[in-house]
Structure 1
């Protein structure tokens, strides 16, 4: 009987653990530490690092590789083993509930894709909220992130695919601020932002693949870093515009394009800002990392 748990154990986890182990090892973690996080023996970690494990199809690798990067980043940000397990389980559940894995699982188990989807038909709201919490935690842990927080402070917003109003968008109450020189944020929640939530809703109407945004400081060094990092961006100037007009100007850039960032040069009384966009908060955080790596 090839249940989803058997499929996960036999087809997904060996490759996922191996990829996570390789990323962590390349970042300097000892094999014993990696084994502790993954809940396996050090000998198994060594086996994974040598490439001795069952590899899935290229399609499955393409699905699992971004998750391995996210899990490894979560571990490196200081997450506990329990948090890592919960995060990984939610990511795999989302892959089933979204249907991304059902085509592969249905072939493996000999059932229809619709039967697969019915097994995982749950409300995704809590998953979206948990993902945002984890992304915010990773963002706050980045060394030097405090340098990117503008005077108006930063906010990270995430609009689930069914979101239509700011109340249905996840954001940070009070935004990300500095406390004794260190970034600080309250836990994300639905309906916590007006401008940032309205912005991502407007952008996602132009390009449904763009669901998350973060604003950071804009100055000469940050602009140079964005250029060097290879991120695709456009410039605007919203000085003198009200919020609704500014949102319209920025979202219009996504009419026929998917940008990584929009550089708003502001104007009189308006602080220059960078808006970093992505399909989800993890992609946004990854782009922040790219910028900071170039700056360093």
Structure 2
């Protein structure tokens, strides 16, 4: 992991772009290069580069309307004398704070540190509180689980036509938005397991609802993986001491039926499945305490 602080993005991407845009605006308003240099705290040579037409701007910042308005406002204030350095600094700092709250700086930070993707840069905005740590742990577990299934070629034979997903819920989740999964689902791509992107909260509906129903009966069952139902898969689970539980394939009131089934059995089995119905593909769910726990069992039952 390459460690990058958000302040590095500000120094290396935001500040040069803001200075170049300001230099250009002030140049167009008739200020000399030395006057601009004195105002911006840079050398005359730097200003010359800024206004030469090749300032190496960060496009996502330079093309943002908020940046353009702020630069024009500061340039106009400097030119007319209605804005001093303190007020200009205040304008730029306000823009930085806005950009760090799920804005362009946040996007650039996520690109520099892919581990932040899916968190919306909450670590920067909210700090390292318990909620953020819980989200990080869930996302990391789903990421590891996805790598595990992607590295197991045999999994590809058990991916449903509708796609496979790996989900894990926050400890007190009550809504699919509090369950992390793989956006776009996992698919068979020319004979290999294709994980299209990093996990995000709210990326699943069916797997998420299965997890939430399971959690209502057993709060430790916070994760699940869906697979295509097959005799091979179910027999492999039985060989490992796990008796799969069959449930009704119908979508109507599925959660209520599952809740009743879990109550009758006194808990949530490791594996549940249905044999499909008209227009409904046979699906098996493997539950776990974490996404990694569920994926480990999937890798075990599908074999190498």
TM-score (norm 1): 0.55
Q: Specify whether residues 139 and 174 from structure 1 end up closer, same or farther in structure 2 by C-alpha distance, changes over 3 A only.
A: same
1:178 aligned onto 2:149: no
Cα offset for 1:122?
6.6
1:199 aligned onto 2:207: no
Does structure 2 retain, via aligned residues, the 8 Å contact 1:206–1:252?
Answer: no
CA deviations 1:122-158 (Å, max 9, x no partner) are 7321121122111111111113110110111111110
Match of 1:213 among 214, 224, 245: 224
Cα offset for 1:120?
8.7
| Alignment correspondent of 1:268 | 278
Does structure 2 retain, via aligned residues, the 8 Å contact 1:169–1:190?
Answer: yes
Does structure 1 retain, via aligned residues, the 8 Å contact 2:182–2:198?
Answer: yes
Distance of 2:169 and 2:228 partners within structure 1: 22
Does structure 2 retain, via aligned residues, the 8 Å contact 1:222–1:291?
Answer: yes
1:254 aligned onto 2:266: no
Q: How many residues align?
A: 174
- What 5-or-longer segments of structure 1 have no aligned partner? 1-85, 87-118
CA deviations 1:30-54 (Å, max 9, x no partner) are xxxxxxxxxxxxxxxxxxxxxxxxx
Cα offset for 1:290?
2.2
Distance of 2:131 and 2:273 partners within structure 1: 38
| Alignment correspondent of 1:145 | 155
Distance of 1:211 and 1:247 partners within structure 2: 15
The alignment's C-alpha RMSD in Å is 2.1
Distance of 1:121 and 1:165 partners within structure 2: 19
1:235 aligned onto 2:246: yes
1:283 aligned onto 2:287: no
CA deviations 1:212-264 (Å, max 9, x no partner) are 011101122222212212123211232xx33x522322343322223100011
Cα offset for 1:207?
0.9
1:187 aligned onto 2:191: no
1:245 aligned onto 2:253: yes
Does structure 1 retain, via aligned residues, the 8 Å contact 2:276–2:283?
Answer: yes
CA deviations 1:7-64 (Å, max 9, x no partner) are xxxxxxxxxxxxxxxxxxxxxxxxxxxxxxxxxxxxxxxxxxxxxxxxxxxxxxxxxx
Distance of 1:122 and 1:251 partners within structure 2: 28
Does structure 1 retain, via aligned residues, the 8 Å contact 2:149–2:193?
Answer: no
TM-score (norm 2): 0.53
